[in-house]
Amino acid sequence: MKSIADYVALEPEYYQHILDNYQTLFAHIIDLSQIKQLNAIVIFATGSSANAAYSARPFMSKILNVPVYIEDPSIAANYSYYNDPNNLYFAISQGGESYSTIHLVKQFVENNQTIYSLTSNPSSPLYKVSNHILSMGMPIEEMPYVSAGYSVTILDLMLITLAIGQKLGHINAQQFESYFAQIQKITQLLPQIILQSQAWVAKHQDQFNQTNRVIFIGYGATYGIAREGETKFTETVRNTAFGKELEEYMHGPYLGLHRDDYIVFIEPQGRLMDRAELLKQFLKQYVQNIATIYAHNTETPKTADLCLNIDCDELLSSLFMTIPIHLLSYQVSQLKGHNLEKSTYPEFDEITKSKIKRVTV
């Protein structure tokens, strides 16, 4: 079985394949003929799929000029109501086995509502119950703790957005090509980003291994990355981790500080960078370990910092800034001796039925 690091190494190949085939994958499948005026995008997802959606949301909202909502499928199916014909609905489950997502999609189909399911598994229950399928454009990820699948979901959502934006006239051909060229440039630089991230992880992994709690902080496109840091670090390292939005953290959670916390800022060098610097100024008085992962370069990097040196729109930074966090989670999990190919609690899915291996249509 491939490891998380193996799948991170495959991201340049997966990205390029999707860029080469985006029209077949997305542009020709999404039907906007029934949309009179797009009111909103609603995405149903959990776990890393939801984290990826949060990472793509600022870009999606900017291009389409509408709100983008990310909803928990369990709450949506049991306690909410969706019937606006001028909304576009998407459900995301890479493996296509998430009980709550399948249940929600079945509701949409039974109500004759259109919902697009994004998955990489054509044999999955989600695929079988869906009325509109979007392929992620990558093979099924064997590793249960997804890395490439998370990143590919972000790319997919951005390309879906560009296709919709062009069809609805929100962007013209020149704007489309400009964004596409930026994404292509990032794709070409991914091998360099992986090497930089590997070096940073090798230098600091022992400190993270000794830390009891890690807090990831992001904003804008990197809020989803902070959430993914919490998800992946908790799953693989099995230590306490939190992923917070910058202002969210400043309105209460900072009061739970411990001096031995390790705080990681994921900095796209965007609109809220000055706010993040003020928070760091405060935290330095009380916390020993603070690191910042920068999208671009910075004039005064600290020893613990990582500068990825990618000059791009801040809303595209989520396409590459999770790489060091995925590699860090994997390496620290190996230092702790965790076998990620074996389930920690094999009885969990059997008892809770959180994953569905087959479905009766």
The predicted structure's pLDDT at residue 10? 98
Return the half-sphere exposure (C-beta side, CA atoms, 13 A cut-off) of residue 20: 7
The predicted structure's pLDDT at residue 345? 73
**Among 323, 312, 322, 311, residue whose Cα is nearest residue 59:** 312
The predicted structure's pLDDT at residue 357? 67
Q: Which amino acid is at 100?
A: S
Which residues, other chains included, contact 73 with Cβ-Cβ below 8 Å and sequence gap of 6+?
44, 45, 46, 91, 98, 100, 101, 103, 104
User: Quick one: what percent of the chain has pLDDT higher than 70?
Assistant: 97
**CA distances (Å), 87 to each of 30, 66, 100, 250, in order?**
13, 10, 21, 33
Q: What is the pLDDT of residues 80-94, one digit of tens each?
A: 999 999 999 999 999
| 262 secondary structure, DSSP code | E
Q: Look at residue 90 and give its three-state secondary structure.
A: strand
The predicted structure's pLDDT at residue 361? 44
The predicted structure's pLDDT at residue 266? 98
Written as one string, the DSSP assignment of 176-218 is HHHHHHHHHHHHHHHHHHHHHHHHHHHHHHHHHHH-SEEEEEE
Every domain range in the chain assigned CATH 3.40.50.10490: 4-186, 189-335
Taking the C-alpha atoms of residue 304 and residue 345, their distance in angstroms, rounded to an integer, is: 34
Q: What is the pLDDT of residues 108-119, one digit of tens each?
A: 999 999 999 999
User: Mean pLDDT, consecutive 10-residue segments, the chain of 361 residues?
Assistant: 95 98 92 91 97 98 98 96 95 94 96 96 94 95 92 98 96 97 98 98 97 97 98 96 98 95 98 98 96 93 95 97 98 96 74 65 44
The predicted structure's pLDDT at residue 226? 98
Q: Look at domain 4-186 and name its CATH class.
A: alpha beta
Taking the C-alpha atoms of residue 194 and residue 177, their distance in angstroms, rounded to an integer, is: 26
The predicted structure's pLDDT at residue 146? 93
Q: Which amino acid is at 109?
A: V
Query: For residue 127, what is the enclosing H or E element?
Result: helix 125-129
Residue 150 near residue 4, CB atoms below 8 Å: no
CA angle (73 as vertex; 72, 76 as ends), nearest 5? 90
Beta bridge partners of 267: 294
CATH number of 189-335: 3.40.50.10490
pTM of the full structure = 0.95
Q: Which two tokens stand for residue 12?
A: 């340049």
